[in-house]
Amino acid sequence: MRLAKLLMLVLLAGTLSWSESSAAELDGVSADGWHSWHVDNAEGDQVQFYVLIENGKPEKIRSLSWNCRKPTRDKINDHGEVSASESYAWFRGVVEDSTVEERVRDAALFGLVESGTDDAFDYIDQILSKR
């Protein structure tokens, strides 16, 4: 399943049409600094997300297994467990925000898929159908 997700992301990386919308709000994630939250995805796995916000914009996104080492020694604002749909909405907002660097939007695609919602896969189908 991971390989299938990765292949989807490779296909999607160059096919998105970017808009000027801003990232959906996940309570407090717009503040500068490191943020984390976790989601129990459809496969029953817990995925931990780490996001570095600089100047109000996502700068780094890391998607890790719950038992992996943290990506920084800096203070992390932990938002705890978040619903898969809320996580999906946040990542979709990043993907669609043309003011965010492309490498960060690409990383957000992986986070979007890791949310594991039907909405995420419907969105990916929508993107691919525009290709």
Closest CA to 35 of 55, 62, 69: 62
User: Chain-wide mean pLDDT for the chain?
Assistant: 80
* pLDDT at residue 26, rounded to an integer: 73
Residue 9 lies in a domain: no
Question: Could you read off the pLDDT of 63-111 as tens digits, one per residue?
Answer: 887 777 788 888 999 999 998 889 999 999 999 999 999 999 999 998 8
DSSP letter (8 states) at residue 70: P
Whether residue 93 contacts residue 21, with contact meaning beta carbons closer than 8 Å, is answered with yes
Residues ≥6 apart with Cβ < 8 Å to 118:
none
Lowest mean pLDDT among 11-20, 50-59, 96-105: 11-20
* pLDDT higher than 90, residue 124: no
Domain tally for the chain? 1
**Domain membership of residue 87 as a residue range:** 26-130
* pLDDT at residue 71, rounded to an integer: 82
DSSP letter (8 states) at residue 20: B
Q: Tokens in use for 32?
A: 């500068």
Number of residues written out for the chain: 131
Q: Tokens in use for 4?
A: 């299938």
Whether residue 51 contacts residue 29, with contact meaning beta carbons closer than 8 Å, is answered with yes
Residue 13 lies in a domain: no
Residue 18 lies in a domain: no
